[in-house]
Amino acid sequence: MSMNMKLQMRMSQQLIMTPQLQQAIKLLQLSRTELEELIDQALIENPVLEESREGQEAAELERLESHGEKPVEPASKDSPVSDMDWEQYIESGGGVFQERYSREDGDEPNLEATLANAATLQDHLLWQLEMSNLSPVETAIGEHLIGNLDDDGYLTVSIAELIEMNPDLQEDILTAIQKGAISLPPMEDLSPEVLDLKHIPLEKTPDKKNKKAPPVFDEDEDPDRETTKPVAVAPQAAAVVESVIEFIQTFDPTGVGARTLQECLEIQLIAMGMGDMLQFHIVHNDLKLLENRDLKKVARRHKVDLEEVLEAYRLIMALEPKPGRPFGHERPQHIIPDVYIFKFSSEGSDSEDQVGQYRVMLNETGLPRLRINNFYKNLGEAKNNGKNDGGQNSLTKEYIQEKIKAGNWLMKSIEQRQKTILRVTKSILKHQYEFFENGINYLKPLVLKAVADDIEVHESTVSRITTNKYAHTPQGIFELKYFFTSGIDQGQGEVISSKKIKDKIQKIIEQEDNRDPLTDIQIADWLYKESKIKVARRTVAKYREALNLLPSNRRKQMF
């Protein structure tokens, strides 16, 4: 066997992902907000790109005409507005800020809805803390505690974790105790969490002035590695933190600062003056039985009648398990649709964007339109004048041409993205036409391959283009992925959409008797009896869980 070196020519096909192709694919799956951010970043990084205002005005005019609205014309010189006495207008109250014009379809929120910031739970509690008569050290403890509350108002750290995260806080507490600035609460009144810390000795903070010899490390140990030694918690410091926690638990909303659901409910019952009543003892001892609604066993354990337990159950169920619920969670984000689907009369003229009585139109409002700056375009196309400039002009021209090429590719990719959204939406409209006419009961099973074959693209392209894209339709605003749904075979070639079945399950549960809720088997029988839909009990349970609906034993109300 001889081994020789020789040259061979072969032909093969290979997919190479160029940076331009990767950018085009990335643009497909970007949401509208992310696309706007990418365009803004491109305007900053690429000097040859600029924003075209003419395209925005044309798109806004087209959108207003499609809604049957008329654009506001600027006042002419002969208009009575130009002759108005503006000083008299302001003095008469006309200068007061008026409510912003809002469209009837509710697509754009009023300006007032975007100005006011809702008060957060932390702001509400810090305001109460500032109004309290606490020492500076206790106020600092309270600020740390409030900062570690979650959105529901529960304390997410233990006393030991709080002191470990803030080692200087313990030293300040002990110093304040020695000076008499803080009164130490009775040790017998401490909670079990604090009592468990009594056996931990308090380590003194080393004096920074005394220099110690460098530590000796093992051969396998890295001397540059940072090591953190757990901070020992002093019982006195833990007792002060516990007292501040109890003080915060008296704030509004009642139940805030609790560490468990049980403690939260107990705080509310104590605030209502029921610390020694049946409701408190049930929460303190039999909360698990209450969650399982085993009220008969609760009555036997407390040796009371079932009616008394029912009365206590009613009151406990009226308590707030999440005290921070009314406060500043994140404001809802208004969805800006990427495409509009309008219904026209049958007398309308046919166009390439029209399917039946519906027309599909891209939402170009607010989306920056790009173009190449004419100055840089001419500079990139200019010929060298033949002067010896050390190659500076050629380098500059090469740089400008590179930026122009990148800008043209970006604009082409954005245009291709918009065209693909339009084509996919039109294909969805053709496949789900009955849904747009009659609602969710007429939603058909649809897979990506059907749309991909219709517009002659790959399934991955349809998947990317329908991610985080929304359509404004006569039935409401839906994500484009909403129209792709699996189905359940009913036999004889009939397939029913899973979303239709979920909608029927939800309506059945909403209309059931709360004292005698339907089981999954009964729901399956009801679907077949009323709608001739064949589903198994496991399928009903699966769809019910997907809708975040509880099983029948958890939905049952005792009164």
Task: Give the 3-state secondary structure of 98-152.
Answer: CCCCCCCCCCCCCCHHHHCCCCCHHHHHHHHHHCCCCCHHHHHHHHHHHHCECCC
Alpha carbons 439 and 446: distance in angstroms, whole number: 16
- The pLDDT value recorded for residue 2 is 65
- Is residue 295, in this structure, part of any structural domain at all? yes
- The pLDDT value recorded for residue 379 is 84
Q: Both 309 and 370 in a single domain?
A: no
CA atoms within 13 A on the CB side of 433: 10
Q: Before 551, cis peptide (omega within 30)? A: no
- Is residue 186, in this structure, part of any structural domain at all? no
**Which of 241, 106, 263 has its CA nearest to residue 184?**
241
- The pLDDT value recorded for residue 7 is 85
Q: Both 282 and 399 in a single domain?
A: no
Q: Both 309 and 361 in a single domain?
A: no
Structural domain for 286, as ranges = 260-322
**Which of 483, 481, 418, 428 has its CA nearest to residue 454?**
428
- The pLDDT value recorded for residue 279 is 93
- Is residue 155, in this structure, part of any structural domain at all? no
- Is residue 193, in this structure, part of any structural domain at all? no
CA distances from 93 to 96, 112, 153, 392, 552 (A): 6, 19, 44, 62, 60
Q: What is the mean pLDDT, run by run of 10 residues, along the chain of 559 residues?
A: 78 74 83 90 91 61 53 48 47 40 45 58 92 90 93 91 86 86 68 48 41 44 49 81 92 93 94 92 91 87 91 91 81 81 68 80 87 87 61 80 91 92 93 90 89 91 91 92 85 79 90 87 90 88 90 77
Q: Both 275 and 350 in a single domain?
A: no
- The pLDDT value recorded for residue 73 is 52
Alpha carbons 178 and 176: distance in angstroms, whole number: 5
Give the residue from 460, 485, 510 where a domain finishes.
Answer: 485
Give the residue from 468, 485, 502 where a domain finishes.
Answer: 485
Alpha carbons 75 and 8: distance in angstroms, whole number: 77
- Is residue 448, in this structure, part of any structural domain at all? yes
**Burial annotation 482-513 (CB, 10 A radius, 16+ → b, else e):** bbbbebbeeeeeeebbbbbbbbbbeebbeebe
Tally the residues of the chain: 559
